[in-house]
A = this chain, B = another copy of it.
Amino acid sequence: MRDDWATFGADLHLDLRGTRLRAGLMDALREAVRSGRLAPGTRLPSSRQLAADLGVARNTVADAYAELVAEGWLTARQGSGTRVARRADPRPVAGPAGAEREGAGAERAGADGSAAPPRTPPAGSPPVGPTPGGPTPGGSAWRVSRRRTGPPAYDLRSGTPDLASFPRAAWLKAYRRALTAAPNEAFGYGDPHGREELRTVLAEYLARARGVHARPERIVVCAGFAHGLMLIGRVLRGRGARAVGVESYGLGPHAALLRDAGLTTPPLPFDERGTRVEELPSLAPDAVLLTAAHQFPLGGALPPDRRTAVVDWARATGGYVLEDDYDGEFRYDRQPVGALQGLDPERVVYLGTASKSLAPGLRLAWMVLPESLVDEVVAAKGAVVDWMCGTPDQLAFADFLATGAHDRHVRAMRLRYRHRRDQLVAALAERAPGIRVGGIAAGLHAVLSLPPGTEAAALRSAAWHGLAVQGLGRFRHPQAERSLEGLVVGYGTPPDSAWQGALQALCRVLEGVDEDRDPQDT
C-alpha cells in the first residue's frame, strides 16, 4: 500500500489523507507563501510533475493552482509557468492559520536539523530524494524531501503493482461500454459463478496466456484471491480435509485464512530448487498451496520434475493442489511457463487475480475448479445469489479483456517492470556486488539474499533512509525448518517518479550491508 502523504518543496509537509486533497494542498501552499518559505517569484513545479510526486490526480493540483491564482497568491503566465505572486503578503497572520503554521514550522525544524532528529544518521548517508543532493531551503529547486520521522518516503514493499500506472482512461472506457451494454438483470442479484460474459472471455484468456484448461462453467469469479482461498478452504474442510501444506516462505495471512476455515497449515520443506514435493507422501496433507510459477517471496519456479511429482501425488492420494498464480503474466527472460493446472485440471485448483496485472483495488479474481468441486464452491459462495462480487466491475473487466486493453496494459507494464528489474540488477552489481539477486526474472519483486545476521540491521538502515522494504523473516512460516535472510524488494510498487529515488536509497542501504558496516542506531 502506498502511504497517502507526501512532502515537497524542501520543507513543506502536506497531509493528504482523506477527501480534502485539493483543500489541503491549497492550505499548505498559502501557508508556505504567508510564512515566506515560498519567496515571491518562486516558480512552482508543473501540475503534472507535482501530481506525480504527490500521487494525486493532475486535476487536483491544477484546480488548486487555478484557485490560488484567482485568490491572488499565485500568478500563471504562458511560458513562465506558475509562480508565487510578487504582491503576496509574506507576513505571518494570527489565528487558526498561525496554529497551522506552528505544525508546519515544527516539521521544518526537524527537517533542517534545527531540532534533534530522533535518530542519528549512519555515517556517509546524506538525505535521499528523487533528485539526490542536499536541501535547498526556500529556493526554487523543487524536490520531494524526506522526513526523518513518520511514513517512509520510498516504498519497495512487495505485493502491489505500480498504482500510478493504473490505466484509468482505458478502464473508464471499458466500464462505460460495459455499463451501457449491460442488460437490466445485470444490476440485480447475480449468479455466484460470476458473470457469464466474464467467465467466457476469461476461459479464452487463461488458455492463451497461462495454458489453463478453462471452460466458463468451471470458473468461479471471486472478490480477490483471499476470497477464493476462503471458499476453497471451507469446501475442503467440509469434505473432511484437516491439513493444507503451505510453503515455508509465503504470506502468513493466506495461511491464516485456511486456519480460519478449520484447517492446519504445516510448512512444506524446501531446498534451493524450491518446495520438496517428493516429501508429500510422508507429510500426507490433504492439499497444498503453491506459488509454482514464481515462488512468493523466494522467486524461484518449481522445476519440471517437481511439477510432475506434485500432480502425481495429488492423483495418487486424492489430494488437491491450490495453485496461486498471482503474477503469471510477468516473465522477462522467456515465455511464461504454463500453469500447473494444465497438467491435471481435476486435481489442481487454479487461482488467478487482477491484483498484480491491473490493481488490487478492483477486487477481481477467479478460480478454475475441478468439476467435482464447482458446485460446492458455488454453494459456499452464496448458493443461489452472489453475495460478494459486484457486476459492473466484472462486465468492465470482461470488456477490458475482450477488447485487448488488458493485453496492451500487461505488455506495457511488462516492459516497465523488466526495465526496473534490469536497473536493479545493474545498480547492485555496481554498488553492492556482494549482494545476489535471487529468483527468476519475473513478477514484481526480487529477493536479495543477505549474509546471516544482517537482515535486521539492513531493515533499520532502510527505515533510516526513508525506505519501506520487507525482510524475508516476515514471510517465514513459524515452523519452517530453515531460516533465510534477505530483503524482498517490490520493484513494481513505486510510481515511475519515485523509482530512481527508491533504487538509490536501496543501494545506500546495501552498500552498508555489503561493506559489513552496521548502521549506527541509537
A residues engaging B (CB < 8 A)?
Answer: 1-4, 16-19, 21, 54-57, 59-60, 159-160, 163-164, 166, 168, 171-172, 175-176, 179-190, 196-197, 200-201, 223-224, 226-227, 230, 253, 355, 359-364, 382-393, 398, 495
Contact = CB atoms under 8 A, between A and B. Distances in A.
Contacts of A386: 363
Contact of A168 (B179, B383, B388): B179
A197 B389 CA distance: 21
Contacts of A186: 163, 361
Nearest to A226: B387
A310 B8 CA distance: 54
**Copies assembled:** 2
A1 B391 CA distance: 13
Contacts of A385: 1, 253, 360
A59 B17 contact: no
Contacts of A391: 361-362
7 contacts: A2-B188, A19-B200, A168-B180, A184-B495, A223-B387, A227-B387, A364-B390
B361 A188 contact: yes
A66 to B, nearest CB: 15
A189 B163 CA distance: 10
Contact of A388 (B182, B227, B382): B227
Given A55-B183, A224-B387, A188 B163 contact: yes
The 8 A-B pairs of least Cβ separation, nearest first, read A361-B391, A187-B359, A226-B387, A2-B185, A55-B184, A363-B390, A187-B361, A163-B184
Nearest to A363: B390
A385 B361 CA distance: 10
B1 A185 contact: yes
A196 B15 CA distance: 14
